[in-house]
A and B are shown apart, each in its own frame.
Chain A
Amino acid sequence: MNAQVNWIGYKTIVRKEVVRILRIWAQTVVPPAITMTLYFIIFGNLIGRRIGDMGGFDYMQFIVPGLIMMSVITSSYGNMVSSFFGAKFGRHIEELLISPLPNWVILAGYVTGALARGMMVGSVVMVISLFFARVEVQHPFIMVSVLLLTSVVFAMAGMVNAIFANKFDDIAIVPTFILTPLTYLGGVFYSISLLPEFWQRVSAFNPILYMVNGFRYGILGVSDVPIGWAYAIIIFFGVVLASLCLYLLHRGIGMRA
């Protein structure tokens, strides 16, 4: 009985999220498509031609995995933070809080919604990349699993942000001051082997480096970090963030007085 209630509740949250993403497609899917097209044209095509090879591939091929991963990270995080904070701000999160659904179902529903947007955007960017570069996927399982796990991790990070946010400004601070710099410095546009040794060591503390390189390994078969480390870091952050989200939901931080 409870399993059925939870399953229907989960499907309802996911359906609601997907409907929301599609209803506002001009805000959710189109902007990353335009931005990534510009990246491919400017960085990949115009500047990339002068850069030459990187990691054994031409520059356009090299940045394809990073740009896909960047759009998935931003979309997953953005979907969760805007949807969950919007529900909190508009008080319709109370519809879920007074329902019999346990917190893990609420978390799972919202994370799946964010994952759906991440995958939608990732797929669109992947299709766009095909117009600019010819890429053969080397390890499909690694490519898909790293992408899905990373999307889940950033969805949960978005929920933590949304729970603590009190105003709309608060949901812009983390993406602007933390997420974007870490993504740009996470090896999207370059191999860290180009950096001086000191900065290579500093880069090793950036979790996004492992995600981008794990995904790049899945597509191109090259990585600046061992693939085992990439999985370990992603799973570690996944477990920590899942525990944190469940704890915050249980305590009702920012939601239950």
Chain B
Amino acid sequence: MYALEVTNLKKTYANGVEALKGISLNVAEGDFFAFLGPNGAGKSTLIGIISSLVNSSSGEVKVFDTSVQQQRSEAMSYIGLVPQELNFNQFEKPLEIIVNQAGYYGIDRQTALQRAEKYLRQLQLWDKRDVISRALSGGMKRRLMIARAMVNEPRLLILDEPTAGVDIEIRRTMWEFIREINENGTTVILTTHYLEEAEELCRNIAIIDHGEIIQNTDMKSLLGSLDIETFVLDVSEPLLLAPQIEGMEFHLRDQYTLEASLPKQKSLNTLFASLSDAGIRVRSMRNKSNRLEELFLRLVDKGETV
């Protein structure tokens, strides 16, 4: 049984925008799955349909073999959602918000209070339980939405850019929390703009662009398919032109910064030897970006297939 089965899902909005053009994908139970795509690719529409916030135009979505369209109530009882936008009452207190959410899932008040304490403590919000939510920081508000999504202890947790605008330290704490949830058996679906986050956490990935899935595979295979790596080199002497060396590509960012793209088969020794022959001395070097980011840009920008 899959945690999520999406079959030929289409969505055209009233204004004629075709957000999803017949998407099909499966997410296995217990998986940590990433939806990636540029803004407007259709990720949030897909998540909206899974969580019943958006009506599909056609196609089917099943959560643990339960149709979201036909058996909405049962399907929703399996899901916890952390949306991209803040969607809690900012005049209520965190404890109130979480206990109320539990009530909507039919959880009695005593259990709700226990769970609220458990998740607020885990997300370091227990001290803020009686503060009006509007007064919380951006990162606290995001964590509050995660605690709220966990109160019904969902079998499928969907996080739509949960760490947007959160500082790196809190982001790492949130990663640990989500990873632990996944290790305890909850299937997690994540969309994020931080590709490092997807690479760090997710085992499988679907890349969505213009309402279509352009890649759906496991993270290892995807990263393994990357055959070109790009490095940023700081050079000692100013350069007027990028060097021309066979089998490698160079791009001059400024007089002292050179970008070098070379196939995986070529060693860095070859790069340095070639640059040395061209009279270029390298002071320092770093990766241009993480590997997934490089792949993502190639897939989305150039419409390549890996």
Contact = CB atoms under 8 A, between A and B. Distances in A.
A8 B106 contact: yes
A257 B48 contact: yes
A95 B88 contact: yes
B108 A8 contact: yes
A96 B53 contact: no
- Chain B interface size, as a band, is 20 to 34
Interface string A159-198: 0000000000000000000000000000000000000000
Interface string B56-72: 00000000000000001
A201 interface: no
A12 B54 contact: no
Interface in A88-102: 90-92, 94-102
Nearest to B106: A5
Contact of A98 (B55, B81, B86, B90): B81
A123 interface: no
Given A9-B106, A95-B101, A256-B53, A102 B87 contact: no
Interface string A214-257: 00000000000000000000000000000000000000100011
B106 to A, nearest CB: 3
Contacts of B73: 2, 100-102
Contact of A252 (B45, B55, B77, B107): B55
A4 B106 contact: yes
A133 interface: no
Nearest to A7: B106
A92 B87 contact: yes
A54 interface: no
B85 interface: yes
B105 A5 contact: yes
Interface string A113-133: 000000000000000000000
A6 B73 CA distance: 11
B79 interface: yes
Given A92-B87, A94-B83, A6 B106 contact: yes
Nearest to B81: A98
A2 B71 CA distance: 13
A98 B54 contact: no
B52 A16 contact: no
Contacts of B89: 87, 90, 92
Interface of B: 13, 45, 48, 51-55, 72-74, 76-77, 79, 81, 83, 85-90, 96, 100-101, 103-108, 148
Given A5-B77, A257-B55, 13 more contacts: A4-B106, A9-B104, A11-B103, A91-B86, A92-B89, A95-B100, A98-B51, A98-B53, A99-B76, A100-B73, A100-B74, A100-B105, A101-B104
